[in-house]
A and B are shown apart, each in its own frame.
Chain A
């Protein structure tokens, strides 16, 4: 984790490794601890943690790993997940509940039900998903405390 503190925001940056299911969730767990220390509400912390974890798992499964960055301010958290993976050909389809391109081995681990992106949307206040096939994907998840 790299901390980059500006005057009023805290930036935490993590490297997420491809196919590393043993340490998947470490970035989200770390951000969750920080949010607890900063006194955010339990519901806000839970929503943020679940959304970030879903995104982190997607990077592990689909994105070939990448960078997870959390920008934490007094009244919001913005999570930016960037990978240089294969990209998403059809974002509308990827957002549809039940659609998944996960392999059988990933499904055996309990993931790949096509619930991740819809659940991120459910937990977050705003999401922005941009992707280019062969280049990579960036997912920005924003949550506003008190929203």
Chain B
């Protein structure tokens, strides 16, 4: 599974980034301190954190991409920073739970 395939399969809206990356698993948390210890390289990270710090954490942990659930979007400066860093951010109207179950099925 790759980020581009995930985008197509889940009908995600791309907010930033255009690099196709391999997906290994999925991680959900909004507490950045926890994400830094728990999110693994290649994870799809589902979060409602839309700040610049989210971009830094996604880059440091090597998350494959970030998905904002429930139709959330990001401020322009966050999208610009993510583009600059090559971080793919998607938005989806679905909940974190719904996204996670679909990602799990796709990774089977």
Contacts and interface: CB of A to CB of B under 8 A. Distances in A.
A109 interface: yes
Nearest to B37: A119
Interface residues of A, number: 25
Q: Main SS of chain B's interface residues?
A: helix
Contact of A110 (B30, B59, B61, B85): B30
Nearest to A115: B33
B37 A122 contact: yes
A115 B31 CA distance: 10
B108 interface: no
A21 to B, nearest CB: 6
Contacts of B56: 24-25, 28-29, 53
A16 B57 CA distance: 17
11 contacts: A21-B52, A24-B53, A25-B56, A29-B85, A32-B59, A42-B41, A46-B60, A46-B61, A110-B35, A111-B33, A112-B33
